[in-house]
Structure 1
Amino acid sequence: MITPDLESGTKLWHLVKNHDQADQREGDRGSKMVSEIYLTRLLATKGTLQKFVDDLFETIFSTAHRGSALPLAIKYMFDFLDEQADKHSITDYDVRHTWKSNCLPLRFWVNVIKNPHFVFDIHKNSITDACLSVVAQTFMDSCSTSEHKLGKDSPSNKLLYAKDIPNYKSWVERYYSDISRMPAISDQDMSAYLAEQSRIHLSQFNSMSALHEIYTYIAKYKDEVSDTAARRQANGPTHDL
């Protein structure tokens, strides 16, 4: 049910395919016609949203079309990953690419795309959630280095953006390459940047509330934290990623 009109009392309903009919068998003409209608609507919706999806992906995977400078933390983090790869003689491009994808696009951006209510004061209904899931899946496929083989039996959400993913992948590769060519960020500059960000946002956060959350976490996992700290002290310093 779509949000009702409280003033008139009218309730609006969104019609969906009935999957509970026992007489609807796979391959049935009626079922096939409904599927074809859905595919047409999916393609029409995709065409309407295409520019917005393209703009979103280009903004995320670009150092020049962001509307603001690339945060120093991203350059610093990516350089750290490259340094660790060099230190451990990891030359495989896919490994380096996956590290960067896992620590930023797949860790942060997918969560924001899939859950806009984390950032904006909006209600995400089931229909919106399904649409955003398709965009999020396309985003994840664009960050992958593996080839996705699709066929006629592949789910429609995979087929919708199949022709666009190679182009999106090239944007991701260009993004990582552009960042690698940017001037390195020194530890002093990074520390100064973090201190400045703390000063700017000082009044926006409740430090006591943050300490309370940390205390709650530690109280819950104090045994695991103590055991981990004891093992690290016994084994010496580590540089695990």
Structure 2
Amino acid sequence: MPSIDCFICVFLKSISVPEKFQPVHTRTSSFQRTLSPQGVHLEGLENYGVKYYHLVKPHDSDPTGDGNRGSKMVSEIYLTRLLATKGTLQQYVDDLFERIFSTAHRGTVLPLAIKYMFDFLDDQALLHNIMDTEVVHTWKSNSLPLRFWVNVIKNPNFVFDIYKSNIVDSCLSVVAQTFMDSCSMSEHRLGINSPSSKLLYAKDIPKYKKWVERYYQDIKMMPAISDQDMTALLTDESRQHADDFNTTAALYELYKYIQQYYEDILSALEEDEFARKNRLTHKLEQVRREMDFEVYC
């Protein structure tokens, strides 16, 4: 994903320090860290041409020196600096959001599972006579952008072998919050007491919201994925990762969930037309009998 790579690189480059200030300990010998951990004295870095780009105010944890001096600066000066920083990083943030919320600028085909899942949510809304578009929009946002992408944006160290300092974590929180606000259909209201991090992207959020709505609509207009195609996809994925996971443990965890809500699940299967057609109730009872037999043996 070039957009995420670019986004991470700009932060890495923006707060990189010379070799003499780099930490001694690294997690891997093949990847040298360029971020300085907390506690490393960075006085005199301006002599090396290092520039800082932060979307939040620096933490005033140091009672002396630059930290104490910085705490006395008026908020208007900080806001000017934050706006300048936002302008520097704007293209990277736009590129990231556009690639996430686009079916045409990804560089790869939209995963079939996303189309299948979104169609399922649309079908559930029709099945339960839910006409409020905000409800379905929220379902889709919670199932993919807010569950997966926010974690990647906020925690790039989950994907890349990098060190995430406190200031970088705060900056990524600003972008992640903007991402979450973009997925919401509620009105984005700000006041005089709103944090400066929220004010930074206030004018951009309406544009991002349109991207989200367009993304969901484009997926809805795509050809439907049949159950056979989805089954084939899942079977192929299972084959490719057959040795990566403990499937027995996963199945047992699912069975414990079924045990807890057995009567409710059984009742729901009996009311569902697809479940009756495929005799899922009978199959579930067979699984329970076999599992109980294994336990007693």
1:92 aligns with 2:92: no
2:278 aligns with none
Structure 1 runs (4+) deviating above 4 angstroms are 18-21, 210-215
Q: 1:177 aligns with which of 217, 225, 229?
A: 217
Deviation of 1:164 after TM superposition, in Å, equals: 0.2
After TM superposition, list the pairs within 5 Å mapping 1:143-222 onto structure 2.
143-202=183-242, 205-208=243-246, 211-212=248-249
In 2: Cα distance, 1:18 partner to 1:162 partner: 29
Give 2:165's aligned amino acid: N
Give 2:260's aligned amino acid: D
Secondary structure of the residue aligned to 1:152 is coil
Deviation of 1:134 after TM superposition, in Å, equals: 0.3
Q: 1:74 aligns with which of 114, 120, 142?
A: 114
2:91 aligns with 51
Deviation of 1:201 after TM superposition, in Å, equals: 4.0
TM-score by length of 2: 0.66
What is the RMSD of the two structures over their aligned residues, measured on CA atoms? 2.9
In 2: Cα distance, 1:54 partner to 1:199 partner: 37
Which has more radius of gyration? 2
2:259 aligns with 226
In 2: Cα distance, 1:175 partner to 1:83 partner: 18
Deviation of 1:231 after TM superposition, in Å, equals: 4.7
Secondary structure of the residue aligned to 1:148 is coil
In 1: Cα distance, 2:132 partner to 2:23 partner: 59
Q: 2:161 aligns with which of 114, 121, 124?
A: 121
| Unmatched 5+ stretches in structure 2 | 1-15, 25-38, 44-57, 65-69, 273-297
Cα shift readout 1:183-207 (whole Å, capped 9, x = no counterpart) = 00000011111222233444xx533
Change (3 A) 1:19 1:149: farther
1:142 aligns with 182
Cα shift readout 1:57-79 (whole Å, capped 9, x = no counterpart) = 00000000001000000000000
In 1: Cα distance, 2:91 partner to 2:178 partner: 14
Report percent identity of matched pairs.
63
Cα shift readout 1:24-63 (whole Å, capped 9, x = no counterpart) = xxxxxx9674322221221111111100100000000000
| Unmatched 5+ stretches in structure 1 | 22-29
1:12 aligns with 2:41: yes
Aligned length: 220
Deviation of 1:153 after TM superposition, in Å, equals: 1.9
